Amino acid sequence: MKNNSNKISPAQLFFTIIQTQIGVGILSLPNTMAEASKTDGWISLIFGGIIVQIFIVLYYLIMRKFPNKKVKEIVELLFGKKIRKIFEMGLLLYGIIVGVLILILYTRILDRWVLPETPNWIITLLMAVCCYFLAKEEMRVIARFNVIVSFFLFIFLGLIIYSLKDANIFYIMPIASTGWKEILMATKDAIIALLGFEIIMFLTAMTSGDTKLKFKLITAANIVVTLFYLLAVIACFLFFSPADILLIPEPLLYLIKAFSFKIIERTDLLFLSIWIVSVFTSFVSYVYWGADCIKGLFNSKKSSKNTLIILAIIYFAAQLPSDTQQSIDQFSKYASFAGYIIVSIPIVLLPFVLFYRKGQQHAKDH
């Protein structure tokens, strides 16, 4: 029987997925969805959550047959060690791309709102150093941290709900006026916004408990994040006119900045403080992802060394793109393309898994 002492609990899995999904993109999400399908962007977001759930179901079918295996280990069972190495190299590249994008967007927003005179390399270095001390630990430690900081999301949520007092329902009327073709096409942008759930390719094998319970909690995490994003998008759509929201790069920050309280003058800075924690937890997950891939590729068992290597790669790669919106948009497209490939993995693997007769017994033996 396998020792579960190094595994995380199903509840920790739930919070880790939430903290990985809610990251740097939430501030600009309303603008992104407005550009994709105008005031019906919130409908596209709902469809995006449904499609993500379909991918989760497909992965559950794989997970049910190989309950204690990571996806890369399943690939080795199905296709051999050479294919696993190639596959794991692809996962490593994906982790680097997403990590670089998180650092670039994080730096750009802090440069605009809080630290305009601070060199970008210092801002990214601070994030990388802080990340190292957490990402080098076991997943149990990371998961516990994710559980603790998840309570900050209630402050996040409270500020968004408070903004609804000035909502104008007519800004999103009539519903579906953009046309269903545009709404459905915009779903691809919603799926990218919801990325982070793919961390289950690593986490489910590292989680104790029944496979059905894991599936239920992964589903619950997806629902929570989709509803959280939906509330943020609708709040911005109800506050800004359809023309204004297309001109504002971070609508959520401008929305929060419009309010002040007796004891808090700059609510946007409070909001950013909480947002930085969400960015940090998401970044840690992808750094852990990359370090795990390095461990598998080079048989390096020192987690601190693996984490340092992946962080160094991400940090220096984040300094390369020129600091223009055009270059950032181009890199975001590359990251989006990589995201589409990653989420399609269960579709490709499932037929092979279903016809792999020895898989069930092999999984039980381990």
Residue (of 164, 159, 152, 107) closest to 267 by Cα position: 159
**What is the second-level CATH architecture of the domain 15-350?**
Up-down Bundle (1.20)
**Listed range (15-19, 146-150, 154-158) with the worst mean pLDDT:** 154-158
Angle among Cα 128, 129, 134 to the nearest 5 degrees reads 95
Please determine, for residue 326, whether its predicted confidence score (pLDDT) is greater than 80: no
Q: What is the pLDDT of residue 23?
A: 82
Helix (H, G, I), strand (E, B) or coil at 262: coil
Mean pLDDT of the chain: 87
Q: Provide mean pLDDT across the span 87-100.
A: 93
Rounded CA-CA distance 280/244 in Å is 30
Two tokens, residue 2: 């396998």
CA 30, 35, 39 angle in degrees (round to 5)? 65
Q: What is the mean pLDDT of residues 245-257?
A: 86
| CA-based radius of gyration for the chain | 21
Indicate the pLDDT class of residue 269, thresholds 50, 70 and 90: confident
Cis peptide leading into residue 67 (ω within 30°):
no
Per-residue model confidence (pLDDT) at position 364: 44
Predicted confidence at residue 359, as pLDDT, reads 41
Question: Which band of pLDDT confidence, cut at 50, 70 and 90, is reported for residue 335?
Answer: confident
Please tell me the predicted confidence (pLDDT) of residue 365. 43
Per-residue pLDDT at 361 exceeds 60: no
Over residues 274-300, the mean pLDDT reads 90
pLDDT at 99: 92
Pairwise CA distance, residues 185 & 324, whole Å: 27
What does pTM read for this prediction? Answer: 0.90
**Of residues 268 and 37, more confidently modeled:** 37
